[in-house]
Amino acid sequence: MLRRFLFPVSLLFVITFATACGSGGPLAPSGGSVSLDQEWQLGDQLAAQVDQQVQLNRDARLNAYVRSVGERIHARTPLANRPFDFKVINDPNVNAFSLPGGHIYINSGLIAQADKADMLAGVMAHEISHVVARHAIKQVEQQQQISIIGSILLGQNPNALQSILANIIAGGAMARFSRADEKEADDLGVGFMSAAGFDARGMLDMFEKLLSLEKTRPGAVERFLADHPTTQSRIDDIRKRIQGMPPGIVDEPEYEAVRQSVS
């Protein structure tokens, strides 16, 4: 695994590309500086490098199921016409992260701790929501760091790309989230997962379990909670948000079967 590297201040807002988010609605205009095509191109470059540096899980049945969950949720988003990619990393630590352009990574350790299919769906919906909202792109635009994006897309700034990659590999995600950021991703996520047929309580159950694990096995969830601060107030917000939502899929036989491969 790569070590964390120090990088120039000018890269700080580009480094928010891994699941960072801002304030604004799910399809608020990004200002036009970075098109969706450019965002997907950048994401593809980052994902190609990440795939070479992590140990991807090759279990065909497990990956097919994770893709199925991801695509069911993705299909209910405003970016359903854009390609998304879902992969499992062989890592016992509980973690998940996303890259621009619809690349979602789930650690095997998170799957092992997600007792039911709706709990896995809750995490995936949360990560998908960061991509759908284009939070990272908005933050970069607000800080006027567009030239760095352009230089990466043109292949003129390999050092910037490698600095971003180093942080992804070292920490999973590359940014810390504010309470407002997390709430927005939670709100969007429960809506998307419910529309996809999953029980939205799964997100609540997953975060409640993470809080419990923080007390009993803090090392296992340290990385996830560093990038996704889970507090009781956040859990209470999710509980309020899901009130009145219809019941949905809680668990599936296929999930129970594939989860055994990582438990």
Residue position matching structure tokens 């709430």 = 183
Nearest in space to 133 (alpha carbons), one of 178, 186, 68: 186
d(CA 51, CA 70): 18
For residue 62, how far is the Cα from the chain centroid?
Answer: 18
DSSP lists the bridge partners of residue 103 as 85, 99
Catalytic residue among 118, 127, 184, 205: 127
- The encoded tokens of residue 113 equal 């701790």
Q: Which residues of 49-70 are buried (b: 16+ CB within 10 A; e: fewer)?
A: bbeeebeebeeeebbebbbebb
d(CA 163, CA 148): 12
Contact 124, 75 (CB under 8 A): no
d(CA 43, CA 233): 33
Residue position matching structure tokens 């810390």 = 176
Known active-site residue 71 = no
196, amino acid identity: A
d(CA 237, CA 234): 5
Catalytic residue among 91, 186, 205, 252: 186
Q: Which helix (H) or strand (E) holds 253?
A: helix 253-259
Residue position matching structure tokens 């896995």 = 120
Residues tagged active-site: 127, 186
